[in-house]
Amino acid sequence: MATLVRSLPVRLVEVSRSGCRLECSRPIESGTSGQLAVELGGVMRIDDIRIARCQMRMGAGPIYQVGAELLRTRRLGRRTVRMAIKTIIDGRMGAGHARNDHDVPIPASVRTTGAGGRSESRAPPAQPSRGP
């Protein structure tokens, strides 16, 4: 037996304190765990995640929406995705990184539904693509 490690390019589109939503060009089976690496605030952040669900985004070609749980397998350090998300949510990441959906001038993130609510999981991000 051996372990096959594959690296999948993903886009981080939505965050919460306990998880995130990714977009990926191929399906990932629920229950799969892996290591997420994203550059946030100029720092490469890494955390372990577990895929909770994966569904194709309708009408968007081969794009899969992946809901993932952030695992607390490592100490909450500066280089973790959880710390970056905490910073975004606390509004300390700096203006322009994300915006509030209701145009409230909060310096960091975003759009939120209330606790226990559901956001529009198929809603496109405010800026669907980044330039190279």
Partner 1 sequence: MTQLGRRKHSRFLLSQPVEGNLRVREEVAIEEWNESELVILSPEPCRTDERLTLEIPGSVRHRVSVRVRESRPAVVADGPIRHRLRVSVEGHGPDVKKPEGREL
Give the footprint of partner 1 on this chain (CB under 8 A): 1-19, 21-24, 28-29, 32-40, 49, 88-89, 96-99, 101, 109-119, 123, 125-130
Do 12 and 22 touch, CB atoms closer than 8 A?
A: yes
Nearer to partner 1, 15 or 83 (CB): 15
Please state the closest distance from residue 70 (CB atom) to partner 1, in A. Answer: 10
Please state the closest distance from residue 4 (CB atom) to partner 1, in A. Answer: 5
Do 80 and 43 touch, CB atoms closer than 8 A?
A: no
Please state the closest distance from residue 26 (CB atom) to partner 1, in A. Answer: 9
Do 44 and 28 touch, CB atoms closer than 8 A?
A: no
Please state the closest distance from residue 82 (CB atom) to partner 1, in A. Answer: 12
Render 27-91 in DSSP notation, one character per residue: ---TT-EEEEEEEETTEEEEEEEEEEEEEE-TTSSS-EEEEEEEP--S---TTSHHHHHHHHHHT
Nearer to partner 1, 24 or 83 (CB): 24
Nearer to partner 1, 26 or 77 (CB): 26
